[in-house]
Amino acid sequence: MKLPHTVTTAMLFCLFACCSPSDAQLLRTVTNPALSSVEGIVRQGIDQGVYPGAVVVAGSNGEVLWAKAYGRASWDEKAPAMGLDTIFDLASVSKVAGTTMAAMALLEDGKLSLDDRVSKHIPGFGAGKEDVTVRDLLTHVSGLKPYENSATVEKTRKEGESAADALIRHYCALPPAYPPRQQERYSCLNMQTMARVVENCAGERMEDLLKRRVYRPLGMTGTGYVLSARQKAKCAPTAKRKDGSLVQGVVHDPLANYHGSVEHCPGNAGLFSTGPDLARLCRMILARGTLDGVRVFTPGTIARMTADHSPAALKGRRALGWGIYTPGRFATPLNDEPGSYMLAHTGFTGTYLWMDQRTRSFVVLLTNYVLPGGAKSGKDAGLAPVRMGLVRAVMSLQPEYAEFLKSQPGRN
């Protein structure tokens, strides 16, 4: 089913309101003249060799205004075209679309508290980290270092011990890399630890909790940690083997790959999803916990998740899991109050989520930027202008942001 290019906002609202989640995902393309600049922004990334293909879903005031797939799954001219049903390795976007959502479900259900010490749920979490809390993990101020080499952990893995258990045991014994709550250091170890807190608290795998409490109620049928063979075949490849074959449906992040997802979910990465699924997640959050008449979280839970939880002594701002944009290129002075924040998270594979609470606007950008073969020259090379361009295109729909955008001509 293809919508005409001139589809109106009202038509889009009626279409999505009347469709079931599964029906909505069958819409091949949704475009709106108000966001026509998206076309050039995304295609320029392909033309410049930043990524072979992409999926973009964006909207405002809770409505989907743009949903389109671009390019191909790989750099091969004969590769299949990207589709709205293409599944992507979310990398660090897993931290918010997976781990944070699971933590919020347990917080809402009264099974977990932000002030719980991690050691309450993971016995032995110590070595100077005894007073580290759940809030500290979710805001990256725990004292844990940013990353770990899995080879270091493998050397000390005990006989019969899973890689996931070896990692958690290793993290328990690590001394703080800095005094907790005195600095903010974005850390994959924080979210791997948080995932184990979730599972120990819930008494089930994090994926099972998420499907029951979040993904199935929202109709997110293409989202999960462990994929079927059919789902793997629909994944955008992220690597190339020595024999030239492409890696699909295998976690790209080395630490999450070592951890595995079958016994325990890794937390820092490892989640796979589609553009339409993530758009439904964003719309639910922006609607304060409800989508299409289905309530996933209470407004209070959403308010708690999106509030600034950073220690007062630190300059940065962090919600639970999410980054908060302070006024600058991505956010205006109008977004400087609770309930009006602009929230975002990036993923190393080339994924991005952005939400504006004030106008209920969002951008989902999914690419397989890490796939070898493009013209990339470094981390995030070429991706930053695409992210900025998409955000500013959506912001331009809002009259209240006109003066801000006008004051920054040529900024991208």
Q: Residue 91 pLDDT > 90, yes or no? A: yes
Q: Residue 117: which region, alpha, beta or left (left: phi > 0; alpha: psi -120 to 50)? A: beta
Q: Residue 246 pLDDT > 80, yes or no? A: yes
Q: Residue 99 pLDDT > 90, yes or no? A: yes
Residues 6+ apart with CB under 8 A from 218: 21, 277, 280, 281, 284, 291, 294, 296
Question: Residue 198's pLDDT is what?
Answer: 98
What is the pLDDT averaged over residues 149-168? 96
pLDDT in tens, 296-309: 999 999 999 999 99
- Contact indicator for 381, 370 with CB cutoff of 8 Å: no
Question: Residue 378's pLDDT is what?
Answer: 55
What is the pLDDT averaged over residues 79-86? 96
Question: Residue 25's pLDDT is what?
Answer: 45
What is the pLDDT averaged over residues 241-262? 96
Tell me whether strands 323-325 and 294-295 are parallel, antiparallel or unpaired: unpaired
| DSSP bridge pairs for 290 | 295
**Distance between start and end Cα atoms, the chain:** 34
CA angle 41, 352, 238 (to 5 degrees): 95
Q: Residue 272 pLDDT > 50, yes or no? A: yes
* Separation of alpha carbons 102 and 178, rounded Å: 27
Question: Residue 409's pLDDT is what?
Answer: 62
Question: Residue 406's pLDDT is what?
Answer: 86
Q: Where are the domains of the chain?
A: 78-355+367-379
78-355+367-379 to CATH, choices 3.90.550.10, 2.60.120.10, 3.40.50.11540, 3.40.710.10? 3.40.710.10
Among 126-140, 218-232, 321-335, the minimum mean pLDDT is found in 321-335
The percent of residues in the chain predicted with pLDDT above 90, rounded, is 85
Residues 6+ apart with CB under 8 A from 77: none
* Separation of alpha carbons 152 and 283, rounded Å: 41
Supply the mean pLDDT for the chain: 91
Question: Residue 410's pLDDT is what?
Answer: 56
Question: Residue 3's pLDDT is what?
Answer: 33
What is the pLDDT averaged over residues 60-72? 94
Question: Residue 26's pLDDT is what?
Answer: 42
Q: Residue 136 pLDDT > 90, yes or no? A: yes
- Contact indicator for 269, 91 with CB cutoff of 8 Å: yes
Q: Residue 106 pLDDT > 60, yes or no? A: yes
Confidence band of 379 (pLDDT split at 50, 70, 90): low
Among 32-46, 251-265, 307-321, 339-353, the minimum mean pLDDT is found in 307-321
The percent of residues in the chain predicted with pLDDT above 70, rounded, is 91
What is the pLDDT averaged over residues 265-278? 97
DSSP summary character for residue 163: H
What is the pLDDT averaged over residues 8-29? 42
What is the pLDDT averaged over residues 148-163? 96
221 burial via Cβ count (<10 Å: 0-12, 13-18, 19+): middle
* Separation of alpha carbons 349 and 91, rounded Å: 6
